[in-house]
């Protein structure tokens, strides 16, 4: 649920420019939604229990109302692709469609390489100036910069990724 929670929070906070007084209610509502959509078989505490545990000053009715607002704003589509999803997809495409780039990664295996790029992307996502860009754009920029560093044929690979 933490992946969904972070996705919900980022979409809701940054796309809607929520007022400060509603942030706690939005956060607990996103937590409730993430718990409800968790694929693991766990007992989900009641909204009232979660509000008490998180020291939320809003009533369960207000939290449930905010949950409905969030669902309406997201058009009931709780899965939102994250920049990490795009980074993993782009990296896998590069590794599978352009295997000649793999030798330039001789010092790293692909898993360690994508982990390094993931840390870089997380750092970028923490920068408020970059919030204005789509997750796919941030991921593509990181992949492009890495390709430019590794190979002279980076432009053709980036162009192919852009078409996708």
pLDDT one-digit tens code per residue, 32-64: 787 777 666 677 778 787 777 777 777 888 888
Rounded Cα distance between 56 and 63, Å, is: 9
- The last residue of a domain, from among 40, 74, 108: 74
How far, rounded to the nearest angstrom, does the alpha carbon of residue 119 sit from its chain's CA centroid? Answer: 13
Kindly report the pTM of this predicted structure: 0.56
Query: Are 102 and 157 members of one domain?
Result: yes
Query: Are 67 and 87 members of one domain?
Result: no
Q: Are 141 and 87 in contact (CB under 8 A)?
A: no
pLDDT in tens, 71-106: 887 777 767 778 888 998 998 888 888 877 666 654
Rounded Cα distance between 92 and 83, Å, is: 14
CA distances from 46 to 5, 24, 28, 66, 104 (A): 17, 17, 12, 15, 52
Query: Are 27 and 47 members of one domain?
Result: yes
Q: Which domain holds residue 46?
A: 1-74
Total of domains in the chain: 2
- The last residue of a domain, from among 51, 74, 97: 74
Is 50 exceeded by the pLDDT of residue 1? no
């Amino acid at each position: 649920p933490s992946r969904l929670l972070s996705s919900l929070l980022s979409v809701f906070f940054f796309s809607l420019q929520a007022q400060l007084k509603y942030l706690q209610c939005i956060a607990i509502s996103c937590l409730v939604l993430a718990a409800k959509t968790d694929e693991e078989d766990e007992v989900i505490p009641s909204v009232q229990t979660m509000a008490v545990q998180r020291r939320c000053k809003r009533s369960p009715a207000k939290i449930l109302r905010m949950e409905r607002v969030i669902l309406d704003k997201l058009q009931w589509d709780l899965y939102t692709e994250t920049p990490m999803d795009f980074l993993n997809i782009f990296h896998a495409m590069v590794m599978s469609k352009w295997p000649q780039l793999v030798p330039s990664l001789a010092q790293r295996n692909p898993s360690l390489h994508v982990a390094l790029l993931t840390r870089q992307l997380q750092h970028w996502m923490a920068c408020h100036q970059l919030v204005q860009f789509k997750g796919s754009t941030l991921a593509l920029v990181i992949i492009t910069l890495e390709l430019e560093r590794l190979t002279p044929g980076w432009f053709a690979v980036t162009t192919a990724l852009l078409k996708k």
